[in-house]
Amino acid sequence: MRILLALFLIVGIASANRLFSEQHYQNQFTNWMVRLDRAYDVFEFQDRYNAFKNNLDLIHKWNSQGHSTVLGVNHLADLSNEEYRNLYLGVKVDASRLPQQAASIKLNKVFAPVAASLDWRSSGAVGRVKDQGQCGSCWSFSTTGSIEGANQIATGNFASLSEQQLMDCSRDYGNEGCNGGLMDAAMKYVIAQGGLDTEESYPYTMSDSYTCKFNPANIGAKISSYIDVQRGSETDLAAKLNKGPVSVAIDASHSSFQLYKSGVYYEPACSSYNLDHGVLAVGYGTEGSSNYWIVKNSWGPNWGLSGYIWMAKDKSNHCGISSMASIPVV
Question: Do 151 and 77 sit in the same domain of this protein?
Answer: no
Question: Do 186 and 322 sit in the same domain of this protein?
Answer: yes
Residue 282 within a domain: yes
Q: Alpha helix (H) ranges present in the chain?
A: 2-11, 22-36, 42-63, 81-88, 138-155, 163-169, 183-193, 234-241, 255-258
Query: What is the predicted pLDDT for the residue at 210?
Result: 87
Domain span at 71: 26-34+43-82
Instruction: Tell me which of 135, 178, 270, 277 is the catalytic residue.
Output: 277
Residue 13 within a domain: no
Question: Do 298 and 319 sit in the same domain of this protein?
Answer: yes
d(CA 125, CA 296): 12
Residue 131 within a domain: yes
Question: Do 296 and 279 sit in the same domain of this protein?
Answer: yes
Strand-strand pairing, 225-228 and 118-119: unpaired
Question: Do 247 and 272 sit in the same domain of this protein?
Answer: yes
d(CA 7, CA 178): 33
Query: What is the predicted pLDDT for the residue at 108?
Result: 40
Instruction: Tell me which of 55, 135, 138, 254 is the catalytic residue.
Output: 138
Per-residue pLDDT of the chain (330 residues; tens, 9 = 90+): 545 544 555 455 555 578 899 999 999 999 999 999 999 998 899 999 999 999 999 999 999 999 999 999 999 999 999 999 999 999 877 666 555 554 333 434 444 568 899 999 999 999 999 999 999 999 999 999 999 999 999 999 999 999 999 999 999 999 999 999 999 999 999 999 999 999 999 999 999 988 999 999 999 999 999 999 999 999 999 999 999 999 999 999 999 999 999 999 999 999 999 999 999 999 999 999 999 999 999 999 999 999 999 999 999 999 999 999 999 999
Query: What is the predicted pLDDT for the residue at 17?
Result: 73
CB 132 within 8 A of CB 194: no
Query: What is the predicted pLDDT for the residue at 8?
Result: 55
3-state secondary structure of 226: strand
Question: Do 192 and 230 sit in the same domain of this protein?
Answer: yes
Q: Tally the domains of the chain.
A: 2
Residue 3 within a domain: no
Convert 222-253 to b/e letters by CB count within 10 Å (16 or more is b): bbebbbbbbbbebebbbbbbbbbbbbbbbbbb
Q: Tell me if residue 277 is catalytic.
A: yes
Query: What is the predicted pLDDT for the residue at 221?
Result: 99
Q: Tell me if residue 212 is catalytic.
A: no
Instruction: Tell me which of 74, 81, 297, 317 is the catalytic residue.
Output: 297
Residue 270 within a domain: yes
Q: Tell me if residue 138 is catalytic.
A: yes
Residue 245 within a domain: yes
Question: Do 210 and 220 sit in the same domain of this protein?
Answer: yes
Residue 77 within a domain: yes
d(CA 22, CA 238): 48
**Where is 283: in which H helix or E strand?**
strand 277-287
Question: Do 282 and 319 sit in the same domain of this protein?
Answer: yes
Question: Do 157 and 77 sit in the same domain of this protein?
Answer: no
Residue 18 within a domain: no
**Where is 286: in which H helix or E strand?**
strand 277-287
